[in-house]
Amino acid sequence: MVASLSPEIFLSTLALIGAVIVVAALLSGLVERSGLPQVIVFLALGAVIGPAGLKLLDSGVDSPILRVVSTLSLVLVLFTDAVSLNLQEIRKSKLLAILVVGPGTVVSAFLIALAGHWLLGLSFPLAAIIGAALASTDPVLLRGFLRNPSLPAAVRQALRLESGMNDAVLLPIVLVAMAAMNGEHMKSSDWAALITKVLLLSPAAGALVGLAAVASLEFVRRRMGVRRDYESIYSLGVAFAAYSAAEAVHGSGFLAAFAAGLTISALDVELCDCFLEYGETTAEMALLFTFVLFGTSLIWSGLTIAGPMTLLFTLSVFVLRPVAFISALLPVGIPWRERGLIAWFGPRGLSSLLLVLLAVFDNVPGSRDLLTISCLVVLASIVLHGFSPFLLLRPARLKEREPVQPPPEDPPALPARTADSNAHESGETCSLACAFNPDGPNEVLLDNSEYLELDELLRLEQASVPVVIADARTDRTYNESDREIPGAVRLHPDRAALDAERIKIPFSAVVAVLCA
């Protein structure tokens, strides 16, 4: 593939990768504060460098760059979905998880497939492909929405469960429908072999890679230690290794990537947190880069087919999901307003396009038409789901954030640190990182500006230095652990500085932060 790229295209692609990283970093604060859909910026960037703009790059459906990047992106989407799953949360909310992934997701796919068959005249296999693809929720569009502090907890939980698990249900539908299109005369034994590869062999390959990866990492951790940021890179390597292992035995590498992530989520919480802290950002950059490639020309092709039937089908997609989800969520006691938010916020985006691209790359007849239709739906979803939070969540924004415990007047007894003294052995990271005013009088008292040992904290206490112990563990580790430091304040890791300012932690104090 590299040999087929001209120097101009290679240079443009390299510059584009740099631009995506720079723009994403510079706009991250604005996007988080404003709630604007980040994807729009990168689609616009693609349009600027595409054939209608500067003519620097055109990533059409036959582009080798698009094929490689979209494959890597789908691997990362599935792996990130699985790693992000909180299995304890799933166990506590089994009924909700079953309803959003079962009746909610599957019925949505079925209804959209019927609409595609009736309104667009698609064959049943093609209708199944587009139904499954458009029932998938987009992780990039949804991530910013889930971080909105005014979002009700039940809505956040349901959408997080759905986005983490629905692709694992929808991908097999796409794979089986593709096989039906490419092998109309397949025997029953061929179908049995296909289902075995998709539902058994592929997840088994991924699970084995995940088990080997966790065991190897734990072995090295105990003997030499592994830097936390490198553990996230390690996770990315596991995802690609699982994909390759399944493809090598003629299975689905995508399902293997999901299975590997699920194995890590079940066995190694610390590795999950490392990936979510560092690797998730890397994965998001890949997804945004894919949006730029789509934005050069491909996604705008959806506008060229806008007509009565295609627009009616697009409208039906946004109507059928609420019909499926409101009905599916009847057994759980969720207020109607929150149930409506769950039903409405199922943004279609990159994951939908990637699932349809699987059929395009496999040369399934009629799949290119599916991609064009999906582009139209995705464009409508970016606008509708991207801007509707401004209207639907406006009343909730007036509410105050969750209360944050103020720092105690007297520092907590430092020996309480022993309550977490064995946390590292149990899978939690319990380093005490120090953040302090570099111009303050405490700097000379610290032997290490990054990590604090218990004896250093005791020395600070003896010197009458104000010390605040803050618990800034990730939500995942914080919720799953029953260990805590008495008297510690809770600083949310995503808004630690804002929380510290709001509860008025003095600049002269040493803040000992428990993080994981």
pLDDT at residue 74 is higher than 70: yes
* List of E strands, 380-486: 431-435, 451-452, 467-471
Would the pLDDT of 463 be above 50? yes
Lowest-confidence region among 171-180, 246-255, 383-392, 458-467 = 458-467
For residue 512, list its beta bridge partners.
434, 469
Dihedral sign from CA coordinates of 195, 199, 200, 205: positive
**C-beta of residue 516 within 8 angstroms of C-beta of residue 429:** yes
**Radius of gyration from C-alpha coordinates of the chain:** 25
Q: Say what the pLDDT of residue 310 is.
A: 95
Q: Once rounded to an integer, what is the mean pLDDT over residues 7-30?
A: 73
Write the DSSP symbol of residue 154: H
Closest Cα to residue 460, out of 476, 474, 446, 475?
A: 446
Confidence grade of residue 284 (pLDDT, cut at 50, 70, 90)? confident
Give the integer Cα–Cα distance in Å for 239 and 242: 5
pTM score of the predicted model:
0.75
The CATH architecture to which 75-280+306-398 belongs is: Up-down Bundle (1.20)
Sheet-wide strand order for 489-490 = 451-452, 431-435, 510-515, 467-471, 489-490
DSSP H or E run through 127 = helix 124-134
Look over the chain and give the mean of its residue pLDDT values, rounded to a whole number.
78
Using an 8 Å Cβ cutoff, are 449 and 434 in contact? Answer: yes
| CA-wise closest residue to 134 among 453, 376, 368 | 376
Q: How far apart are CA 5 and CA 355, in angstroms?
A: 26
DSSP state of 461: H
Structure confidence by residue, pLDDT tens digits, 419-436: 333 333 333 333 333 333
Quote the pLDDT of residue 377. Answer: 96
What single-letter DSSP state applies at residue 414? G
DSSP string, 252-267: -HHHHHHHHHHHHHHH
**Token pair belonging to 193:** 């072999």
Range with the poorest average pLDDT among 16-30, 45-59, 138-152, 481-495: 481-495
- The answer, yes or no, to whether residue 87 has pLDDT greater than 60, is yes
Give the pLDDT score at 158. 87
Q: Where are the domains of the chain?
A: 75-280+306-398, 414-515
Q: How many CA atoms lie within 13 A of 352 on its CB side?
A: 33
Indicate whether 96 pLDDT > 70. Answer: yes
